[in-house]
Chain A
Amino acid sequence: MREAALSTLPRAKNAPMRLPRQAWLLARNDLRQEMREWELVATAGFFTLVVLVMFALAFATLSRDAQVLAVPGMLWLTVAFVGALTLTRIFDRERESDTLRALLAAPVERLAIYLGKALVTLLVLLGCCAILVPGVVLLFPAAAPLAEHPIQTVTLVVLGCLAYTSVGTLFAAGLATSGGKNVLLSVILYPLTTPALIFALVATRALIENHPDFSKYLSQLAALDIVLVGLSGWLFESVLVGTGARRAPTTRRRRG
């Protein structure tokens, strides 16, 4: 039984369910490895706790007005730090024995690799936010509205983390295959994700202040999410393995 042949037509898209299935299989594979050691969750969760304690020590005496400004910053700064940590680890795991290259050579949709990795990163980030947000609410009285509007808070956190993850996964994967230095990741990641984080920041502040524009900011963040996920998904294959038609053979101008 041969399931495929080299002589089949290229780009025969005959398996519509392949993408979600493969994405889920890859995410499950990552989660399964994680459940052997709890390495990612433990380091990221511990890191979140440490940051939270440091915030408590540094900012506990802030006035209520100042807290309104400080709390959104703490929240999204921590997400940025934890995100960079998680992304580095999650692709280090694929680099250890070059499994990412194996996946690229395997009959796997490239988009499925992206979605699987992004899903795991998102889950880890959300897990950290499950520590972070209640912690912030407990420590800073001004953050109480976050607890009073749980649905809005959860939506906001998911959308914000999604924005970060979508961009981060693309560039972490790109660096993992280009044999580059991981140091470049933070250099690239922080300026690129800051616009998304600023949107999340503004929305968080609106939520804390019970500002009527909150839903507007939230929908803007959602629109940004769609743009970022779409763009990253579109670029993922090209960044990991060069695609597209080969450069057309140009007639060389004479050089003299």
Chain B
Amino acid sequence: MPAVTPLQLRAIGKRFGRLAVLRNVDLTVASGEIVGLIGANGSGKTTLLSIAMGLLPMSDGERWLGGRQVDDISIEQRAAMAFVTHTTQLYARLTARENMELWLSLRQAADASVGEIEPVLRRLGLGDAIDRTVGTFSRGMMQRLCLARALAGRPELLLLDEPFTSLDPPGRKRLAEVLREEADRGLAVLLSSHDYDAIISVTDRVVLLSGGRLVGEVVRADERGAEGFRDAVLALGRGSTREAAHA
């Protein structure tokens, strides 16, 4: 397990003109840790993830990747990161295999890893659909394919934006299992979600984003037990809705 911290965001601020989307956000994700990001719509979750991935320039603050401050994320650094969004980001006219092939061949010097496609897809329950056109997939299947594509690159840092939205309960369970397995191998995961149950089942730590700032944090402590963590996260969520109603 690498000793460095994959992702560290320090005092991140993002403004669009007079609108402050993010204010002074500090967030660290360690190797092997799954961090959940909760918050109401428009609280800046997607913006924060985009800034972490380097898809949006930040107005203030610093982004540290692997213990080094990074303004422009290099190709090598991007190769060690993966970003799965709620938009599917797949070519609908191509098959699952072709989508995966494109991604893997873009990453590597030779098409050597093409053999790895089938195991990865099978692991996410897409074994039967390898040669089907992605356009015929359900949303949940597309989401799983996206995750398979992200994991096939063996990233050190995985960013997920609403990964549970279109999955059925077995799909969620499987996603949670896969994420836990990868985290145990050292993957750092930051995921955003509305779905408290899913978040509670998979994360080690939950942070609440409200009005563009981090307002609360709950850590899954071993002695508290699953129920304690669950109650704490739900209380945090209730607090945010109360605050939103108050404001």
A and B touch in the complex (CB under 8 A): yes
Which residues 89-106 of A sit at the B interface, judged by CB distance below 8 A?
96-99, 101-102, 104-106
Query: Which of A9-17, A141-149, A153-161, A185-193 is found at the contact surface with chain B?
Result: A9-17
- Bound-state CA distance A12–B4 (Å) is 19
CA distance A142 to B77 in the complex (A): 58
Question: Judging by beta carbons under 8 Å apart, are A5 and B78 in contact?
Answer: no
Report yes or no: B102 in contact with A25, Cβ–Cβ below 8 A. Answer: yes
The reply to whether B105 and A97 form a contact with Cβ atoms under 8 Å apart is: no
A2 touches B (CB below 8 Å): yes
Chain B residues positioned under 8 Å from A2 (CB to CB): 80, 154, 156
A4 engages B71 (CB within 8 Å): no
Q: Give which listed residue, A7, A36, A107, A109, contacts B67 with CB less than 8 A.
A: A7
* A12 vs B77: C-alpha distance when bound (angstroms): 10
* A165 CB, nearest partner CB in chain B, Å: 22
Near B by CB (< 8 A), chain A positions 18-36 give 18, 21-22, 25-26, 29, 32-33, 36
Q: Mark contacts of B91-116 with chain A using CB atoms, 8 A cut-off: 1 yes-contact digit, 0 otherwise.
A: 11110001000110111110000000
**Contact residues in B for A97 (Cβ distance below 8 Å):** 87-92
Among A22, A104, A105, chain B packs the most CB atoms within 10 A around the CB of A105
B125 is an interface residue with CB less than 8 A from chain A: no
- A105 B83 Cβ-Cβ under 8 A: yes
| Given A8-B77, A32-B98, A246-B58, A3 contacting B106 (CB threshold 8 A) | no
Q: A1-B154, A5-B2, A6-B80 are in contact. Are A98 and B89 (CB under 8 A)?
A: yes
B175 adjacent to chain A (CB < 8 Å) = no
Complex CA gap A198/B4 in Å reads 57
Given A15-B109, A97-B87, is A4 in contact with B53 using a C-beta cutoff of 8 Å? no
Partner of B79, one of A11, A96, A107, A246: A107
Could you list which residues of chain B lie within 8 angstroms of chain A, going by C-beta atoms?
2, 4, 6, 53-58, 65-68, 70-83, 85, 87-94, 98, 102-103, 105-109, 153-154, 156-157
A selection of 10 A-B contacts at a CB cut-off of 8 Å is: A6-B4, A6-B157, A25-B105, A29-B94, A33-B93, A33-B94, A97-B87, A106-B103, A107-B76, A241-B56
List the interface of chain A (C-beta within 8 A of B).
1-12, 15, 17-18, 21-22, 25-26, 29, 32-33, 36-37, 96-99, 101-102, 104-109, 241-246
